[in-house]
Amino acid sequence: MENKTIKIFISSSCELSAEREALAGFATEVNNIWCDKGITVIPVEWEFVESGLNGGSKQDEYNQAIDECVRCVVMFDTKVGKYTKEELDYALQRAKEGKNPKRVDVLFKYSDVKELEKYPDVKGVYDDLMAKEMFPEKFNNFTFSNFNTMDALKLKFLTYIQFELKQYFADIDLKIEDGKVTMGGKTFFEYSNLPSFKNCEEYQNLFQLRQRLNRFFSDNKRQGMVVVIVLLVLFFIGFIAFWYMKGNSVKQIRTYDFVTKTYRIKVRETMDGSFVYSSWKVDAGGSPDIVIRNGYYDSLRHCYVFQNGTYYYYVGDKKCNNCSGKCMADSLIVKKQNEVLYKGFLSVYVE
């Protein structure tokens, strides 16, 4: 049997050293499950790379270690370390070129994205990734999300490992069984320890109902097979219906493109209903010149409104009929307080 090695580079600043060590130990648990299949997951931490430096620059050694990994996981909390940012940029460029690491996963430690406002450097990295996400044709080899507990972090890491293992075993699946997260027959977490469970009132109610039913039959010794089957069927029908409704209630994210004579503008709706403004010079590519978050739609003036310090950006919506004199449809207006600094006509509208 051929042995298969999956190397994953783990990068972060020193403040997340406990999380890096937890992921390294977690990889050992995973290896214990699939060792009989010749699978070995090797977490590569920058501390161990540093201990092997032989006179070259640190970053060159780190980059060489990244080249040997199929995946790179980068974590941020309140700081952006010099080497961590360089490793992220290097890994993203390599992945874009189709080289190792083939996938880059960026994780931010927060419960609410608004927490990032307190850490401008981290917020800058987040905004840059948001801008890249708008161009999947150029940047389709990275993911970014958040975690706020150790179990939530391990679950993210487990999904990354599962993705790599599926190249060798089609039957490797994460499952939720009896309120537990399992893979390969091993239980890794209690689902109740994960934020998605705590924030899901419907699932908690169903899970508690099942527990009450189990206690009822245990205490009263009424374990008639027919009754049990009927109740279990009703439970799973309710659970399936919940996930179906949840799946059909997912917010549809909208993106709008606008063009003036000098600027190309993209307005993107986020999951919380706010909007993100990004703009480039017409002939420019790459990352946007400006990214402004937390915009909103002004239905009176038919425009999207964004604030950047003392500057206000108004991006007009489609042409409209019977509007008041305040309507800004089909215009891009930039104001500083009440002074108009720029006004342009939106010549293209694409939804």
Task: Examine the domain organization and report whether 160 and 298 are in the same domain.
Answer: no
User: Which one of 183, 213, 248 terminates a domain?
Assistant: 248
Nearest to 30 by CA among 149, 157, 191, 148: 157
Task: Examine the domain organization and report whether 291 and 270 are in the same domain.
Answer: yes
Is the pLDDT score of 2 beyond 50? Answer: yes
Per-residue pLDDT tens digits for 278-295: 888 877 766 788 888 889
Residue 77: per-residue pLDDT: 95
Is the pLDDT score of 205 beyond 60? Answer: no
Q: How far apart are CA 155 and CA 158, in angstroms?
A: 5
Over the chain, what is the mean pLDDT? 78
Task: Examine the domain organization and report whether 71 and 214 are in the same domain.
Answer: no
CB-based contact 61:53 (threshold 8 Å):
yes
CB-based contact 9:71 (threshold 8 Å):
yes
Nearest to 142 by CA among 171, 104, 168: 104
Above pLDDT 70, what percent of the chain? 71
CB-based contact 70:39 (threshold 8 Å):
no
pLDDT, mean of residues 157-185: 78
Per-residue pLDDT tens digits for 92-138: 999 989 999 999 999 999 888 889 999 999 999 999 888 877 666 56
User: Which one of 176, 192, 208 terminates a domain?
Assistant: 192
Task: Examine the domain organization and report whether 123 and 213 are in the same domain.
Answer: no
Residue 282: per-residue pLDDT: 79
CATH number at residue 73: 3.40.50.450
Q: How far apart are CA 63 and CA 85, in angstroms?
A: 12
In degrees rounded to 5, what are phi and psi of residue 20?
Answer: -65, -45
Per-residue pLDDT tens digits for 244-282: 555 444 445 567 787 877 888 888 887 777 898 888 887
Question: Comparing 291 with 337, which gets the higher pLDDT?
Answer: 291
Is the pLDDT score of 70 beyond 90? Answer: yes
Residue 117: per-residue pLDDT: 92
User: Which one of 171, 192, 213 terminates a domain?
Assistant: 192
Residue 266: per-residue pLDDT: 87
Residues in a beta bridge with 315: 304, 332
Residue 336: per-residue pLDDT: 80
- What is the pTM (predicted TM-score) of this model? 0.56
Nearest to 204 by CA among 223, 220, 191: 191
Q: How many structural domains are present in the chain?
A: 3
Domain range for residue 26?
4-192
Residue 4: per-residue pLDDT: 85
CB-based contact 180:189 (threshold 8 Å):
yes
**Contact partners, residue 175, CB within 8 Å, separation at least 6:** 181, 182, 183
Task: Examine the domain organization and report whether 221 and 303 are in the same domain.
Answer: no
Residue 72: per-residue pLDDT: 95
Is the pLDDT score of 75 beyond 60? Answer: yes
Provide the 3-class DSSP secondary structure of residue 226.
helix
Task: Examine the domain organization and report whether 209 and 303 are in the same domain.
Answer: no
Residue 199: per-residue pLDDT: 55
Task: Examine the domain organization and report whether 31 and 130 are in the same domain.
Answer: yes
Task: Examine the domain organization and report whether 236 and 269 are in the same domain.
Answer: no
Task: Examine the domain organization and report whether 164 and 66 are in the same domain.
Answer: yes
Is the pLDDT score of 328 beyond 80? Answer: no
Is the pLDDT score of 213 beyond 70? Answer: no
Per-residue pLDDT tens digits for 54-66: 555 677 888 999 9
Residue 55: per-residue pLDDT: 53
pLDDT, mean of residues 9-13: 92
Task: Examine the domain organization and report whether 261 and 324 are in the same domain.
Answer: yes
Question: Comparing 330 with 157, which gets the higher pLDDT?
Answer: 157
Residue 8: per-residue pLDDT: 94
Task: Examine the domain organization and report whether 164 and 215 are in the same domain.
Answer: no
Task: Examine the domain organization and report whether 178 and 306 are in the same domain.
Answer: no
